[in-house]
Structure 1
Amino acid sequence: MKIRNLFCLSLGLLCSSALAFDRITGADFASRSEVIAQHAMAATSHPLATQIALDIMKQGGNAIDAAIAANAALGLMEPTGNGIGGDLYAIVWDANTAKLHGLNGSGRSPLSLSYDMLAHELEKLGRTDLPPHGMLPISVPGAIDGWFELHSKFGKLNMANILQPAIDYAEQGFPVTELIAYYWHRSVPLLSPQPGDFVATFTLDGKAPAKGQIFKNPALANTYKALAKEGRDAFYKGEIAVQIDRFMRENGGYLRYADFANHRSSWVEPAGVEYKGYTLWELPPNGQGIAALQMLQILKNFDLAAMGFNTPESIHTLVEAKKLAFEDRAKFYADADFHKTPLQGLLSAEYGRERAKLIGERAAQRVDAGNPHLYEGDTIYLTTADKDGNMVSLIQSNYRGMGSGVVVPGLGFVFQDRGQLFSMDKKHANVYEPGKRPFNTIIPAFITKDGKPLISYGVMGGAMQPQGHVQILVNMVDYGMNLQEAGDAARWQHLGNTEPTDGQEAYLTNGGYIEVERGVPYETVRELMKKGHNVRYGLGGYGGYQAIMKDHENGTWIGASEARKDGQAAGY
């Protein structure tokens, strides 16, 4: 142990840098080597899901089949972050066409719930915003339709084979892992009072399963069996939709059969921004992915490599770029079917240069959204790659942990609470409307270089995601880290910006605050404070990273997995 850390601990202080690992790189943060394999690779937040993905590819399935199988398993094994009651987004590199494809698999608000009805319900609760739990924040689950859209366009194996591993684990049980057990324990007291079968479905004798305990979900197994046999219509037009409609009517909910029957995912064009020879690709709004692209257009105007990794200068510049991008995020990002996001202006290099001029030596306390019109949007992440060169970047979520807490008896999943991210300001682009997709935080990422696929990756976790995408890319491009090191390196996140749920005229007034991991040197923290930043140490809020890189020179796949989660990268 370093003398500095002994000194910090003796004073009861949080140490300024992480304990050094015995790695040949000498980097404090390097936890383990990258995984390298010739034929296929998978990286997920649960080792059993990773193994399922590899098994599917060994059986002749491709990366798309493997991603669906892993996601089905994670919905069972990590219900604290995802499940078929939530939404899905994916970016797919299709080796046949040598092209990126984007899928928006997010759901819409209930057609039967008008703005005035919702406002009245909120008034009865004494609120002006949507609550995190219960019936009001529930929107149509889009994940299952997302699976079947991906499978219809790219899949090889039949869905029965793809879903069978998750069905087997749901019936026979699986051991709960450490971090998932921790979040499960936190969710149970919050969600147990909600209508339906949450306690019966997601507890053991009324308690969250502990690390190592075997957990089963036979109800979810039966739902998966229906999907395997009857396809997506079993959920959106069949008996499951009828059950949900009946339950909602009986318990004060607003989703109806028509909401499910009308639901469709949308194929969208990914948006890209070039950064020092690498192009980062994100999906357009209603998600927040383009915030990462806006940050890059600003950061192009600074020499981050010369500033150094996690120095006061580099973190200051990154944080200020985030503040600027996130004020635009709060004002302009919304469902494209209801609001035209000025995408061209937001992502233009000219706009990025103009916004970059607002970054000074001191932390900005007030930040407004810009005028891009002049220049003319909790969670699991997984990624898979196969022998043919296909790559999948997939993210899926219930939103807040285990979602709304509402479980229809016999179905085995929790409905998401993504509708909480609507604004109630009638002038806002993201205002609540029936049949509208709310602003969504979950975003997959993809990097190409010279027109070739390079990295499929994501950093799950609310507003951390665009910040994490940028940090990973900068770590590799500017600071020369490898795929695993880029994820292991100490992170920061800035919080306190205006949110898409706020009013149209809101803006950042107090500068917000930065949370840093303990690997960020105290000297950096001290200098950031001198620049006017409010800096705090935080624990557990820095996202969950998974990544796969194509090594074109050696013809191999390189995988990396988040050391902060329970996951695993593996290949063959």
Structure 2
Amino acid sequence: AGRIYLQPNGEPYEIGALMRNPDYGATLRHLGKHGPEDFYTGELAARIAADLEKNGSFVTANDLANYQLQETPPNVGTFHDYTVTSSGPPHGGATLIAILNILEGYDLQAMGHNSPDYIYTVAMAMKAAFADRNPHMADPYHEEVPVEWMISKERAQYWRDQINSGAEISAAFDVGDTPSTTHVSVVDGAGNCVALTHSLGSSSGVITPGLGFMYNNSMINFHPLPGHPNSIKPGKGRTTGMAPTIIYKDDKPVLVLGSPGATRIITSNVQVILNSLVFGMSITEAVHAARFDCQISDIRCHARIPEYVCAEVRKRHPIRRLPRSHGGFALVEAIHIDPITGQLTGAADTGTDGMALLV
């Protein structure tokens, strides 16, 4: 891995530098010629299995041959006049929709963007949705996942009642997932939309000689103890926070977004959606606005949110300002589609090296 992804002096490549990976190019050409099945049962599979066996891995040729791709329908919800589609279990779409369901019952605009009331209310909606997610989310092909209950308007009303009463919301600890993820949002000239999130976990650092690609490290996303819906099991998929999302108004897509950033993907996507749909921000303003996150304990926020605001929030719930103004949460990549003119506007989070590009 170091031979490919590091310079000869052991340092990472600078942004914009040319990094050559001829092994990966050869692998892609091989797949183009022999088809994807070669990865599971052909020459590539044999090379992968031999290398993993040689190095003491549990993964075998039979595991590759028996792998089944599971195509799951998206979760679908509504937020005021909008239809929200996001990833199905075991990913983050249901939690994103659940948060929006709770917030649909509040006049967020009247509270004011990132005001103390707004931060507290949105943070408690986040915490409530994670209180349902953490003990229940799992691979739906191996466990019963109560998605309809989680994203129901009735469940949202229950949580609003809890929030309004000031009751403590307790979210069970979750193993979470790792932040080494990539997201791409695309809209083409014909109006086709794609929100694509892919993750290696934290990546393993392992590359089979001659193949050029790195294996994932997503076993870390399972619950380490037996008896939990997300416990390790043969053939089972692990949970993630990935929540690629497309939002529609009158059956026309108006917002395409997603992000890397572990379970903070969910809470960051929600805030960009609210910034755009509730506060009428441009997509650039919506993506670049200061954010916060709350899942199982404290609220954490960007340093751009003033201390006097945090002091008011702190009277109701613990909050910590992070020592950074950008990044630290998920890194949203989003496209807004004007429902009348069809004009496309893209924005990428300033916390890293993402970009918006017209080609």
The one-letter amino acid paired with 1:519 is R
Please name the residue that 1:354 is paired with.
Answer: 158
| Identity across the alignment (%) | 29
Q: How does 1:423-572 map to 2 (within 5 A)?
A: 423-495=223-295, 497=296, 512-539=297-324, 540-571=327-358
Q: Report the 3-state secondary structure (helix = DSSP H, G, I; strand = E; otherwise coil) of the residue aligned with 1:571.
A: coil
In structure 2, which of residues 89, 107, 116 is the aligned counterpart of residue 312 of structure 1?
A: 116
**Structure-2 change in CA distance of 1:350 and 1:365 (3 Å):** closer
Please name the residue that 2:147 is paired with.
Answer: 343
The one-letter amino acid paired with 1:560 is A
Q: How far has the Cα of 1:266 moved from its partner?
A: 2.6
Please name the residue that 1:232 is paired with.
Answer: 36
1:145-201 superposed Cα distances (whole Å, 9 cap, x missing partner): xxxxxxxxxxxxxxxxxxxxxxxxxxxxxxxxxxxxxxxxxxxxxxxxxxxxx2223
Aligned counterparts of 1:551 and 1:278: Cα–Cα separation in 2 = 14
In structure 1, which of residues 197, 200, 203 is the aligned counterpart of residue 6 of structure 2?
A: 203
The one-letter amino acid paired with 1:425 is L
The one-letter amino acid paired with 2:219 is G
Q: What's the TM-score, normalizing by structure 2?
A: 0.92
Q: How far has the Cα of 1:308 moved from its partner?
A: 0.5
Q: How does 1:17-166 map to 2 (within 5 A)?
A: none
Q: How far has the Cα of 1:347 moved from its partner?
A: 1.0
Q: Report the 3-state secondary structure (helix = DSSP H, G, I; strand = E; otherwise coil) of the residue aligned with 1:235.
A: helix
**8 Å Cα contact 1:468-1:543 kept in structure 2:** yes
Q: How does 1:246-325 map to 2 (within 5 A)?
A: 246-325=50-129
**8 Å Cα contact 2:83-2:247 kept in structure 1:** yes
* Count of residue pairs brought into register by the alignment: 350
Aligned counterparts of 1:249 and 1:255: Cα–Cα separation in 2 = 7
1:116-163 superposed Cα distances (whole Å, 9 cap, x missing partner): xxxxxxxxxxxxxxxxxxxxxxxxxxxxxxxxxxxxxxxxxxxxxxxx
Aligned counterparts of 1:419 and 1:473: Cα–Cα separation in 2 = 31
Structure 1 runs, 4 residues or longer, greater than 3 Å off: 360-369
Please name the residue that 2:199 is paired with.
Answer: 397
Q: How far has the Cα of 1:361 moved from its partner?
A: 7.3
The one-letter amino acid paired with 2:188 is D
Q: Does 1:244 align with 2:48?
A: yes
**8 Å Cα contact 2:197-2:243 kept in structure 1:** yes
Aligned counterparts of 1:523 and 1:362: Cα–Cα separation in 2 = 22
Q: How far has the Cα of 1:220 moved from its partner?
A: 1.1
Q: Report the 3-state secondary structure (helix = DSSP H, G, I; strand = E; otherwise coil) of the residue aligned with 1:215.
A: coil
**8 Å Cα contact 2:137-2:229 kept in structure 1:** yes
Q: How far has the Cα of 1:551 moved from its partner?
A: 2.1
Q: Report the 3-state secondary structure (helix = DSSP H, G, I; strand = E; otherwise coil) of the residue aligned with 1:392.
A: strand
Aligned counterparts of 2:125 and 2:300: Cα–Cα separation in 1 = 16
Q: Which has the higher contact order (CA 8 A, sep 6+)?
A: 1
Please name the residue that 2:176 is paired with.
Answer: none
Q: Report the 3-state secondary structure (helix = DSSP H, G, I; strand = E; otherwise coil) of the residue aligned with 2:246.
A: strand
Aligned counterparts of 2:184 and 2:172: Cα–Cα separation in 1 = 34
The CA RMSD over aligned residues, in Å, is 1.9
**8 Å Cα contact 1:381-1:546 kept in structure 2:** yes
In structure 2, which of residues 169, 177, 189 is the aligned counterpart of residue 387 of structure 1?
A: 189
Q: How far has the Cα of 1:419 moved from its partner?
A: 1.1
Q: Report the 3-state secondary structure (helix = DSSP H, G, I; strand = E; otherwise coil) of the residue aligned with 2:224.
A: coil
**Structure-2 change in CA distance of 1:363 and 1:538 (3 Å):** farther
**Structure-2 change in CA distance of 1:319 and 1:476 (3 Å):** same
Aligned counterparts of 2:320 and 2:336: Cα–Cα separation in 1 = 33
**8 Å Cα contact 2:303-2:321 kept in structure 1:** no
Q: How far has the Cα of 1:474 moved from its partner?
A: 0.8
**8 Å Cα contact 1:323-1:367 kept in structure 2:** yes
Q: How does 1:402-421 map to 2 (within 5 A)?
A: 403-421=203-221
Q: How far has the Cα of 1:478 moved from its partner?
A: 1.8
Aligned counterparts of 1:267 and 1:493: Cα–Cα separation in 2 = 30
Q: Report the 3-state secondary structure (helix = DSSP H, G, I; strand = E; otherwise coil) of the residue aligned with 1:214.
A: coil
Aligned counterparts of 1:462 and 1:407: Cα–Cα separation in 2 = 23
Bigger radius of gyration among the two: 1
In structure 1, which of residues 212, 221, 224 is the aligned counterpart of residue 25 of structure 2?
A: 221
Aligned counterparts of 1:552 and 1:304: Cα–Cα separation in 2 = 23
1:260-284 superposed Cα distances (whole Å, 9 cap, x missing partner): 2222323322122211211221122
Q: How far has the Cα of 1:205 moved from its partner?
A: 2.5
**8 Å Cα contact 2:124-2:294 kept in structure 1:** no
Aligned counterparts of 1:251 and 1:363: Cα–Cα separation in 2 = 52
Q: What's the TM-score, normalizing by structure 1?
A: 0.59
